[in-house]
Amino acid sequence: MPQTHISVVLGSRRVALNPLRRETPEDIKARFNYLVCQGRVEEAEELMDRYPEVDYRMAS
């Protein structure tokens, strides 16, 4: 079965998405930060509800 590779551009960074790879907590936190920066607060809150085990605090 051929592998499917999808890539998207987030800001100035190109990110390859492998549909078979599980998201890491770092991936989820990066998506959360992206949503917050875009002002998409409700979507960010849904992400927090879906993945409560991730530490969403910003590094100081």
Q: What is the pTM of this model?
A: 0.60
In a domain, 13, yes or no: no
Please write the tens of the pLDDT for every residue from 44-54. 999 999 999 99
Q: CA torsion angle for 10, 12, 18, 24 (degrees, to 10)?
A: -70
In a domain, 55, yes or no: yes
Average pLDDT, the chain: 79
Q: Is the pLDDT of residue 29 over 80?
A: yes
* DSSP string computed for 9-20: EETTEEEEE-TT
Tokens of 10: 């987030």
In a domain, 14, yes or no: no
Number of domains in the chain: 1
State the pLDDT at residue 53: 92
In a domain, 54, yes or no: yes
What's the half-sphere exposure (Cβ side, CA atoms, 13 Å) at 10? 14
